[in-house]
Amino acid sequence: MGFSVLVASALCTFLLPLLLFLAAVKLWDLYCVSSRDPSCPLPLPPGTMGLPFFGETLQLVLQRRKFLQMKRRKYGFIYKTHLFGRPTVRVMGAENVRHILLGEHRLVSVQWPASVRTILGSGCPSPTLHNGQHKHRKKVIMRAFSRDALQHYVPVIQEEVSACLARWLGAAGPCLLVYPEVKRLMFRIAMRILLGFQPRQASPDGEQQLVEAFEEMIRNLFSLPIDVPFSGLYRGLRARNIIHAKIEENIRAKMARKEPEGGYKDALQLLMEYTQGNGEQLNMQELKESATELLFGGHETTASAATSLIAFLGLHHEVLQKVRKELQVQGLLCSSNQEKQLDMEVLEQLKYTGCVIKETLRLSPPVPGGFRIALKTLELNGYQIPKGWNVIYSICDTHDVADLFTNKEEFNPDRFMSPSPEDSSRFSFIPFGGGLRSCVGKEFAKVLLKIFTVELARSCDWQLLNGPPTMKTGPIVYPVDNLPTKFIGFSGQI
């Protein structure tokens, strides 16, 4: 009798939960398969949908690039999965990406995960606004990135970069962790140029608090949409509130002033004027959300790219020397009291330096991809993508598989010196996305990275103390070890 009770107890304790779990997995698979569009004869893409409700989100969050590489090897250029609570198809390759990016508003629409929309909010141009709203908001922000506006920004960027590199060269200790230092630099630049903050407005402690809040928010942008204490979404919202409070303080200061400081209008000032000019009531929440996204796009991505630049140039000294030779030809490698001042015309002459930046963005694009939602059932590469499914187009994988590039693993900026046919290269190299939703600040990013490269090359030599870095995505690409590096002053000899 006692033995029978033990067996029954064991069955209830172990076997029954296992059977229930297997039944749930089977029902989950049936649900996922049944969501295909029966009116379309094409099959769903290959792939797996993971665990009930969670899908494969946990594997993606924990493994990131390793998970994505495994999926690509196993399923090819298009596969199905289940991420952030939604059935999803991941797409890569120039032709597949072309189909998605050129199908905006006709086949697909922008659709970021619920956690991103919750944290960044409904007022952000890129993730949530549609059609006319997005077009008008983008047109306003583009004025902040015109050539004339960029010319105003050059001395500000140069001032911040030069001061930062001087601190690096004067730092005590055998090494400096590059990634957090670069993030702080890019954050200061974005705060000054995009939001109009002046250096005197933030103490070092206050600035560090904002940087840390941004890091916490970004770490939790892509999380399960569960707002409970200690969840990723909860932590992201708490960090966002710190940022919003500081931005609101700046907005109210702008409203009290009649003319912008510095002689130019930053992106936030232009958004405020656009709203008031259209007779709309100034919506503080929307402005805070727009400013938060500007900061996100204006410093996290450039910090990632600048860190990768230091890594690649540190590993390829011959490329750094070619950059210096180009600077020498342009009169930019003289003694400090004779150096030519940078401006847009001078920067545009630095063709090879521009190619170094392009090659860095090819091998290590800061943003790995973009999110869309299928407005109707699509046919792509012999498969169907049902209406309502999420679509992720991959930037990093598209660069990896592009036929346009030979010796893809090699860091070779010269590959960009020869122009490629527009049709073959347009969607093979997409570090700033493409189509109607391409990055609004891409010209600003290019100018900033050029100035950073110029100042770095003419003032510093450096050594990567851990060799080639291991890169991770979270959600922006960054080095796992923060890139410990030893900097010394450049001797001036090439």
- Measure the N-to-C terminal CA separation of the chain; round to a whole number of Å: 90
Residues sharing a CB contact under 8 Å with residue 204, sequence separation 6 or more, in sequence order: none
Residues sharing a CB contact under 8 Å with residue 331, sequence separation 6 or more, in sequence order: 340
Domain membership of residue 30 (yes or no) is no
Q: Is residue 304 pLDDT above 90, yes or no? A: yes
> Containing domain of residue 309, as a range?
41-489
Q: What is the mean pLDDT of residues 299-316?
A: 95
Please give the structure tokens belonging to residue 332.
């930019």
Domain membership of residue 230 (yes or no) is yes
Q: What is the mean pLDDT of residues 210-232?
A: 82
Residues 51 and 58: their CA atoms lie apart, in Å, by 9
**Domains held by the chain: number:** 1
Domain membership of residue 1 (yes or no) is no
Domain membership of residue 143 (yes or no) is yes
Domain membership of residue 18 (yes or no) is no
Domain membership of residue 22 (yes or no) is no
Please give the structure tokens belonging to residue 451.
């100035």
Domain membership of residue 11 (yes or no) is no
Summarize pLDDT for 386-427 with one digit per residue, the tens: 999 999 999 999 999 998 888 999 999 999 987 764 445 688
Residues 202 and 199: their CA atoms lie apart, in Å, by 6
Q: Which amino acid is at 453?
A: T
Q: How confident is the model at residue 336 (pLDDT cuts 50, 70, 90)?
A: low
Output 442 or 275, whichever has higher pLDDT. 442
**Percent of the chain predicted with pLDDT > 70:** 82
Phi–psi pair at 462, nearest 5 degrees: -155, 160
CA quadruple 121, 35, 91, 55: dihedral sign: positive
Phi–psi pair at 88, nearest 5 degrees: -140, 145
Q: Is residue 182 pLDDT above 90, yes or no? A: yes
CATH of the domain at 160: 1.10.630.10
Q: Is residue 203 pLDDT above 70, yes or no? A: no
pLDDT of residue 209: 81
Domain membership of residue 163 (yes or no) is yes
Select from 107, 65, 117, 64 the least CA-distant residue to 86. 117
How many other CB atoms sit within 10 Å of the CB of residue 417? 12
Residues 79 and 89: their CA atoms lie apart, in Å, by 6
pLDDT of residue 194: 82
Q: How confident is the model at residue 123 (pLDDT cuts 50, 70, 90)?
A: very low
| Gyration radius (Cα) of the chain, Å | 25
